[in-house]
Structure 1
Amino acid sequence: MKPYQDFILISDLDGTLANSEHKVSEKNKKAIVYFVEQGGHFSIATGRTQKNVVPYMTDLMINAPCILYNGGALFSWQEQRFLKTMQMKSNDVSDFLRCCILSFPKMCIEVFIEEQLYVVTDPVNIDEHMKREKQEFVYAQIDDILEQSWIKIILCDSHEHLLASRNLLTEFHLDNKTNQFFSAVTYLEIVGKQVSKGKMLGELLNMEAYRFKKVIAVGDFENDVEMLQRADCGVAPANAQEDVKKIADWVAVSNDDDVIHDIIYRIMPILF
């Protein structure tokens, strides 16, 4: 019997598994290899898509389904296919988005479907993060993509404008139809009401292969909170938001100090 065969370690990517240089350290990679070789199941839970996680996957040993789109999808990396997706009703949010375009002229609005990213705002507002990572996208009008199956929306702007746009959701009666959270100071994400990393973790644990596994989850931001609470042990890196640290069972080293290595070699032997 291998020591970690009953465990799943699932990690947020940006600000957690990846360091501030947007890289996964060799120390973290080697620790994951050790964990998997000892029977463990390793996965990631991220707001990213199956396409824009690719730069992080080199030599990364993933042997369990990944949570993508901040809980909007469960994706098999080995098979390169979606196991489950959770869509929202595009018509519910279209008027809200049109209002945001008029009210916040510098906002970038991104709409995600399974195989495509659309930007529905002025090209001059394009998100710098998208340009830096050379993400593939298509410009579109909202009306042109209403018949598509939307998985999530990202609003990118100043934190002040995002707080104001979040308040607008109530005016459009969307607080009971959507789930919203910050995934960074300048990113407000909108998904379906029953969508989150935590809820999709529950879907993963309903699969026969993972039903009785113990879960260690690690994340640094508001969008990780429900996942950390759902896990048997929720871990926050030292660089996490203070509110995330408060709900975590354990605070580890920062993402720049190899947090996954710290969990596998220091925290897990103490806890289990």
Structure 2
Amino acid sequence: MKYSKYLILSDYDGTLSREGLILPEREKEAINEFVSQGGTFAVATGRGFREIGGVFEDTPINAPSILWNGALVMDIKNKKLIKSYPLEGDVKGMLRDIEESFPDTIIQVQCMSEDFTVYFGDCEDELREGLKQFSDIGVNAEDHFIDFFKTLTNKLVTLEEINEPIYKFLIVGGIDRMKELKEYLLEKYDSLGYLIVSSAPFNVEVNSLQASKGQAGDFLKKEYFKDREYTVIALGDGENDIDALKRADYSFAANNASNEIKAAADYVLKENLGVIRQVLNFIDSSLR
């Protein structure tokens, strides 16, 4: 079959979809065609299994998914955990530091049992303003804000109530404050084994240094699928995609990506065309 040598690793938000937890029909159709012709498809996202599983319920993902920026590698169809990289060290101390130094933020931690919001500062207006950028790429900013805000207020707990490993944590707030926060964390914690990135201007995400989409993609190619010889094609639009874009055999940046992301990729996807369809056209015209 014509796509049997190819493994596609695609980012979700801003790349495959700009409609929240709705996968556009044209992407579903192209993924179905790719897989039916022998291709192997996996999603590589900052989201977790509780969110992303439902999105691809009727779409044939036939490789383990890369979740929480690479902190988990999981077969989401069968809910089987394959690889995991929890945060180590004094994670709660780091979170308390952020709460004290940046009180105008919201902090959410990702655990296997649930996503918990452990600090809820006053940044609602700034966050709403930051999300307005999405109105320029086809997403209603207010609807996006309401949906996003619901996820942040769903499980409010104290840090002391969490007694399980934390795999990733997310800090959101005003765009200018996120720039300050990221600089602060990079200066203070970057050398302690943490990967500190942003997937959008209004957030900062913290993972284990071992957890990145690129490293997880390498695990799939070199270990999980070690008996197959794949050409890996990666797609993304954010800073948390750069590692995967650089490690792939071929890489595509979304049209809405920043210049930094586009520079990390081999090609830039066109606007208003299905992204997976463009990749299939590339394979058909350039790689076969």
TM-score by length of 1: 0.89
Structure 1 pair 194–237 and aligned structure 2 pair: CA distance change class (3 A): same
Deviation at 1:55, TM superposition (A): 4.4
- Cα distance in 1 for partners of 2:102, 2:110 equals 20
Which residue does 1:104 correspond to in 2?
102
Pair 1:221-2:238 in alignment: yes
2:166 counterpart residue number: 150
Question: Is contact 1:108–1:122 with CA below 8 Å preserved after alignment?
Answer: yes
Q: Say yes or no: does 1:59 pair with 2:58.
A: yes
| Paired residues for 1:109-188 under 5 Å | 109-122=107-120, 131-132=146-147, 134-135=150-151, 137-145=154-162, 147-170=163-186, 172-188=188-204
| Separation in 1, partners of 2:227, 2:52 | 23
How far has the Cα of 1:263 moved from its partner?
A: 1.2
- TM normalised by structure 2 equals 0.85
Question: What does 1:27-38 align with in structure 2 at a 5 Å threshold?
Answer: 27-38=26-37
Structure 1 spans left out of the alignment, 5+ residues: none
Q: Map 1:184-223 to 2 at 5 A.
A: 184-205=200-221, 206-208=223-225, 211-223=228-240
CA shift digits 1:191-243 (9 cap, x unpaired): 01121000111111111466421111100111001101111101112111111
Mapped partners of 1:210, 1:97: distance in 2 = 42
Counterpart in the other structure of 2:269: 252
TM-superposed CA distance for 1:59, in Å, is: 2.9
Name the count of aligned residue pairs: 267
CA distance in 2, matches of 1:172, 1:215: 35
CA distance in 2, matches of 1:21, 1:56: 10
CA RMSD of aligned residues (A): 2.3
SS of 1:150's partner is coil
Aligned-residue identity in percent:
29
The answer to whether the 8 Å contact 1:32/1:42 transfers is yes
Q: Any stretches of 5+ residues in structure 2 without a counterpart? A: 129-143
Q: Secondary structure at the match of 2:74?
A: strand
Q: Show the counterpart of 1:236.
A: 253
